[in-house]
Amino acid sequence: MPMQLLDGKFLSAQIKQEIAAEVAQIREQGGKIPHLVAILVGTLGRSETYVASKMKSCEEVGMKSTLIRFDDTVTEEELLNAVRDVNNNPDMDGLIVQLPLPDHISADKVMETIHPAKDVDGFHPINIGRMAKGLPAYISATPQGILEMLKRYDIKTAGKHCVVVGRSQIVGLPMAILMQRNTYPGNCTVTITHSRTQNLPDICRSADILIAALGRPEFITADMVKDGAVVIDVGLERVPDATKKSGFALKGDVKFDEVAPRTSYITPVPGGVGLMTICSLMQNTVKAARGEVYTGF
């Protein structure tokens, strides 16, 4: 079977249209316009880019968005108070605090302070726990975007061996939990691997679905991929490249040129998973505005 691209650009445009239509309908019916709030601490380049892109996407689909910025000298208590203010503001439906945070602030404490019903990133322990149990929950945006891709390309997952490389709280851990659930996409036999894993190439080679989320540019090479595998690349790193005007190229965790010919499906970088992430965040915010995930809070 020839290799097919899992085209995040195409899918995200399609999903954005769907969200825009839904928001337009809400507006016509006089309902609550979904409102996403992002808190950004400091001026880290990639965080600036991500947050700007999230805000712009909200605008494109007719949603409301607010960016709250702090210097990286902000105290933990000041930040927690800003989170509490958003929790208490009925006009604000969803809140994300962009990670990473400076070392003097506990990301766990911040995540736990976000009200679970506004936690559209799905990072609160209540949302992670509910997701693991298969209860209604906000699912973190990148894993949800990957599920959406698998679904829209009708990729069979039941009974397959899914290898997740990386155990981050944002991607690897939730991804592994989701892929083993008794639903579609899911019902995989899941192996979660990390920096201490022995025989990683052997394990990767046994994957029908390989999800690379370790944050090391071009780590996954052709010899680590089975013929016909589905390869999902979550990496997005800037690598110096003198041939580019910007001085850098964007690289995923997969050595695309040599891996792609072996696969049945593969995500490009850029133009793959990243664009899906933002769509999931907006879908979650629409659900938050509709009160669909949590009732009775």
By CB under 6 A, name the binding residues for ligand GUN. 96-99, 121, 141-142, 170, 277
CB 146 to ligand GUN: min, Å:
12
Closest approach, Cβ 33 to ligand GUN, in A, equals 22
Dihedral class, residue 115 (left if φ above 0, else alpha if ψ from -120 to 50, else beta): beta
Q: Which of 7, 93, 98, 208 is catalytic?
A: 98
Residue 27 or 194 having the CB closest to ligand GUN: 194
Cα separation, 224 vs 211, whole angstroms: 12
Number of residues that this document lists for the chain: 297
- Contact between 27 and 62 under an 8 Å Cβ cutoff? The reply is yes
Return the residue nearest ligand GUN (CB atom).
99
Residue type at 291 in one-letter notation: G
- Residue nearer to ligand GUN on the CB measure, 41 or 150: 41
Which residue of the set 7, 93, 119, 121 is catalytic?
A: 121
C-beta of 119: minimal distance to ligand GUN in Å? 10
SS3 string of the chain?
A: CCCEECCHHHHHHHHHHHHHHHHHHHHHCCCCCCEEEEEEECCCHHHHHHHHHHHHHHHHCCCEEEEEEECCCCCHHHHHHHHHHHHCCCCCCEEEECCCCCCCCCHHHHHHHCCHHHCCCCCCHHHHHHHHHCCCCCCCHHHHHHHHHHHHCCCCCCCCEEEEECCCCCCHHHHHHHHHCCCCCCCCEEEEECCCCCCHHHHHHCCCEEEECCCCCCCECHHHCCCCCEEEECCCEEEECCCCCCCEEEECCECHHHHHHHCCEECCCCCCHHHHHHHHHHHHHHHHHHCCCCCCC
Q: What minimum distance in Å lies between the beta carbon of 121 and ligand GUN?
A: 5
Residue 38 vs 225, nearer CB to ligand GUN = 38
Task: Note if 121 is an active site residue.
Answer: yes
Cβ 142 to ligand GUN, closest distance in Å? 6
138 versus 265: smaller Cβ distance to ligand GUN: 138
Cβ proximity to ligand GUN, 157 vs 277, nearer residue: 277
CA distance 210 to 206: 9
C-beta of 78: minimal distance to ligand GUN in Å? 18
- Looking at the Cβ atoms of 123 and 265, the one nearer to ligand GUN is 123
- Residues with a catalytic annotation lie at 54, 98, 121
